[in-house]
Structure 1
Amino acid sequence: MQTNFTAEQLADPHVAESEAILRRCVHCGFCTATCPTYVTLGNELDSPRGRIYLIKDMLENGRAADSQVVTHLDRCLSCLACTTTCPSGVDYMHLIDNARVHVEKTYRRPLMDRFIRALLAGILPYPKRFRLALKAAQLGRPFAFVFAGFRSAKPLSAMLDLAPQSLAAASDAPRPRVTGEVKGRVAILSGCAQPVLDPRINEAAERLLTRFGVEIVRPQGEGCCGALVHHMGREEQALEFARRNVDAWIGEIESGGLDAIIITASGCGTTIKDYGHMLRLDPAYAQKAQRVSALAKDITEYLATLDLPKQDSRGLTVAYHSACSMQHGQKITLQPKALLRQAGFAVRDPAEGHLCCGSAGTYNILQPEISAQLKARKVKNIEATKADVIATGNIGCITQIGSGTDMPILHTVELLDWAYGGPKPEKLG
């Protein structure tokens, strides 16, 4: 794609990066076939190619975002299916990130939109606040239909609908410890939303890792990875979360050493693996962030290096849902399914596995109508497998898909923990 940015514009590193990305696009349109919003809405401007044109026009002309641009950029899930399909290697992830920062800086959203986004940014990344908000949501759930009647308030209705009826309690059992030879030392991201929605996921990961000789540390000070606010264009807030985590992990790396930083939520993993890029312009953090990103591993990515023993068949069929952040963001496609088969499960791939379930961080709240269509499509394809249970690697997908089906849905590591000596997951009865 030909561009016409001025030298003054290109002095801004974000604009310069965007210009280089734009130049790689050859208008081929391969991305449209795998874009969930284009497949759902059929509008060229709701495809990666259409959004690229909008972003180019906005940045090249140095103008503020307008309502049309914001509408179509907001509809992007950042699922990154287009990056898997693109034959030209267009770095759409960083282009849409830059565009969202520009939107946040130059566009004044309607009052209700500003309120909802501020609410999400001020609650979701903070576990204590999030837990209190979910308890409040349980009381407010009967009023969801009232908000649904007002277009601008539909995100509030979606928020109440998504809130779980009850929260899983963290185990009161002592933390597992390696009893034999220590074969590795890792940190596990606690995160923000996942330990509130389902603390059993990290508990399963810790049991499984320690069973195979991996020591686990919990660095003081780490928290939200920043993904939730990063995808809302709140750049400074996202970078502050990133810096805090980098400080926590670098301290552990330099004091006791780490073989990996384990992430059990693939949405967080995609962001943490990008810390080196996000903080590249910060001289105090650029190098440290690169070290952290190099150590970041999805739990299945790390388990695949441990050579777990083959187990007998468990007589259970698993429909594996590959989260977008796993297959498109991190390009991890084979390890989770191979681990499940090695553990004795039969694995089936749902049709249209490349399409997003509609969760995408806060997307199912901010874009509830499109999200609902994508969820229905995903659930239909998963249920068609006639599997006994669904496995996936992202808490957002678990919440989204679980709200649309009676099939039990678990994190992959919960099934693996059970197969290698852990307790049977409660959801399996």
Structure 2
Amino acid sequence: MQTTLSEKAKQLPRAEEAESILRSCVHCGFCNATCPTYQLLGDELDGPRGRIYLIKQVLEGNEVTERTQLHLDRCLSCRNCETTCPSGVDYHNLLDIGRAVVDQAVPRPLSQRLLRSGLRAVVPNAALFKNLIQLGRVFRPLMPGALKAKLPRQIHPARPRPTEQHARRVLMLEGCVQPGLSPNTNAATARVLDRLGISITPISQAGCCGAVDYHLNAQEAGLNRARRNIDAWWPSVESGAEAIVQTASGCGAFVKDYGHLLRDDPAYASKAQTVSALTRDLVEVLREEPLEKLGVKSDLRLAFHCPCTLQHAQKLGGAVEGVLSRLGFNLTAVPDGHLCCGSAGTYSITQPELSRQLRDNRMNALESGKPQVIVTANIGCQTHLDSAGRTPVRHWIELVEDALH
């Protein structure tokens, strides 16, 4: 696509990157066929091709309006379009650049600013978030329906973690919302890895991956969280940790992007590349191991929801299904498995109506094979799908750990 950046846009730190991405788009429109918001709304500007055109207009110096901001806000950042695109357009990075420019030009209403600031203050703070979840469960009967639905129906307490230390060591990001919403996920991971002779080295200084801040357009704050995590992990990386395991695919996708996002930071570029290279989704670790050693036995019928951050961002579609099948689980077929559930980080809060429609569509597809349990690989998807109050939704590793013999 022919592009001529304005003089102002040429001064942006990522101007060359934006221009290169824009020029790679041939405007074919294949992306619209798999875009969840385009399918719901049928508006060209609520599909990837239209949003790319809006960003192009902005960077070429045309007027920026609240409508521009709205169409960019409605994007889930699911990256389904990247999987579909025959030209390899790096859409999500262009979207980040465009959103930052638009937000500078169009001040948000006070209500939106307060909501976004509140999310940034609460969600990345694991201890505060966990305390608020516990408080919310106490007062759940008094809450309005919309808020009540955000609370998990059931919290499975964390089982004890193994204490034995093995020669093989990995790190694991504990996460910010997962300890409050699904505390047994990481404990189950530790127990399964222990059975395979792998120990997890706890790093308490590592916190939120930075995605919440970054995708709410506090990009520097998100990158600062990335730098803190790199500092926290670095001594263990230098002493031989073989991987940094992620049990939430949303976090994993963002940590794998540290190397790209910090490539121009002279103090962190090299370390960020190393950290990204060491980062593994849990399924990438397990699929390389002799799973027969686990002795898993289960006759449960499972439906797997593959998060967008696993299949489109990390290109690991089918990986969890492969591991679950190897372990003997009975997996049901799921139509339209490429589509987003509508969680998308904080999207379910900032765009609740669209998010609910996408969730209900996914639940219909996931329940079509009549599973006993739905499993997924990302805490956001897990909580959002479970908020429908239908078939229970859990992290897949918990079902594996339940079936250990």
TM-score, normalised by the number of residues in structure 2: 0.94
Q: Does structure 1 retain, via aligned residues, the 8 Å contact 2:296–2:404?
A: no
Aligned counterpart, 2:392: 408
Give 1:162's aligned residue.
150
Alignment of 1:131-150 (within 5 A): 131-138=130-137, 139=139, 142-144=142-144
Task: State the distance in 1 between where 2:141 and 2:73 align.
Answer: 26
Correspondence list, 1:240-259, <5 A: 240-254=224-238, 256-259=239-242
Q: Residue in 2 aligned with 1:149?
A: none
Contact 2:130 2:179 (C-alpha < 8 Å) held by counterparts: no
Q: Deviations over 1:250-292 (max 9, x none)?
A: 12112x2110000000000000000001111211001100000
Deviating more after overlay: 396-405 vs 109-118: 396-405
Aligned pair 1:380/2:364, yes or no? yes
CA spacing shift, 1:418–1:161, aligned 2, 3 Å: closer
Secondary structure at 2:336 match in 1: coil
- SS of the aligned residue for 1:215 comes to strand
Identity %: 45
Letter in 2 for 1:354: H
Give a deviation string over 1:330-380, Cα, whole Å, max 9, x none. 000132111111111011231111110000010001100000100110111
Q: 1:320 aligns with which of 304, 307, 310?
A: 304
- Residue matched to 1:81: 80
CA distance in 2, matches of 1:202, 1:404: 24
SS in 1 for 2:174: coil
Q: Is the 8 A contact 2:344 2:380 kept in 1?
A: yes
Q: 1:296 aligns with which of 256, 269, 279?
A: 279
What residue in structure 2 maps to residue 27 of structure 1? 27
| Alignment correspondent of 1:336 | 320
Q: Paired residue for 1:153?
A: none
How far is the alpha carbon of 1:141 from its aligned partner? 6.4
Provide closer, same or farther for how the CA distance between residues 260 and 228 of structure 1 changes in structure 2, counting only shifts above 3 A: same
Q: How does 1:229-308 map to 2 (within 5 A)?
A: 229-254=213-238, 256-308=239-291
**One-letter amino acid of the structure 1 residue matched with residue 404 of structure 2:** Y
Match of 1:216, SS state, is strand
Equivalent residue, structure 1, for 2:113? 114
Cα distance, 1:178 vs structure 2:
3.7
Distance 2:54 2:368 in 1: 38
Runs of 4+ in structure 1 off by over 4 angstroms are: 165-168, 310-313
Task: Output the CA distance in 2 between the equivalents of 1:303 and 1:366.
Answer: 35
- Contact 1:80–1:324 under 8 Å retained in 2: yes
Q: Secondary structure at the match of 1:248?
A: helix
Q: 2:19 and 2:260 mapped to 1: Cα distance? A: 16
Which residue in 1 is equivalent to 2:103? 104
Cα distance change of structure 1 residues 97 and 118 upon mapping to structure 2, 3 Å threshold:
same
Q: Which moved more, 1:1-10 or 1:284-293?
A: 1-10
Look up the equivalent residue of 1:91 and give its one-letter code.
D
Change (3 A) 1:11 1:117: closer
Supply the distance in 2 between the matched residues of 1:109 and 1:279 (Cα, whole angstroms): 28
**Residue 346 to residue 140, structure 1, CA distance change in 2 (3 Å):** closer
Q: 1:41 to 1:62 in 2, by over 3 A?
A: closer
Q: SS in structure 2 opposite 1:186?
A: strand
User: What secondary structure, in the 3-state scheme, does the structure 2 residue paired with 1:185 have?
Assistant: strand
Confirm or deny: 8 A CA contact 1:9 1:16 kept in the other structure: no
Q: Return the offset for 1:186.
A: 0.2
Are residues 414 and 120 of structure 1, via their aligned partners in 2, closer, same or farther at CA, if it must alter by over 3 Å? Answer: same
User: How many residues end up aligned between the 2 structures?
Assistant: 403
Deviations 1:14-42 (A, max 9, x none): 12111100101111111001000000111
Q: C-alpha deviations, 1:398-429, integer Å up to 9, x for none?
A: 111111143222211112223333xxxxxxxx
Match in the other structure for 1:59: 59
Which moves more between the two structures, 68-77 or 299-308? 299-308
- TM-aligned CA deviation for residue 313 of structure 1: 5.9
The change in CA–CA distance for 1:62 and 1:243 in structure 2 (over 3 A counts) is farther
Q: Which residue of 326, 342, 348 maps to 1:358?
A: 342
Per-residue CA distance 1:203-262 (angstroms, 9 max, x = gap): 0000000111002101241000011111111111101110000111112112x2110000
**Aligned pairs for 1:128-207 within 5 A:** 128-138=127-137, 139=139, 142-144=142-144, 158-164=146-152, 167-171=155-159, 173=160, 175-178=161-164, 182=166, 184-207=168-191
- Secondary structure, aligned partner of 1:309: helix
- Distance in 2 (CA, whole Å) between partners of 1:84 and 1:339 is 22
Q: Which residue of structure 2 aligns with residue 90 of structure 1? A: 89
Residues 167, 338 of structure 1: alpha-carbon distance in 2 compared, 3 angstrom cutoff = closer
- The answer (yes or no) to whether the contact 1:317–1:346 under 8 Å persists in 2 is yes
Letter of the 2:111 partner, please give it: M
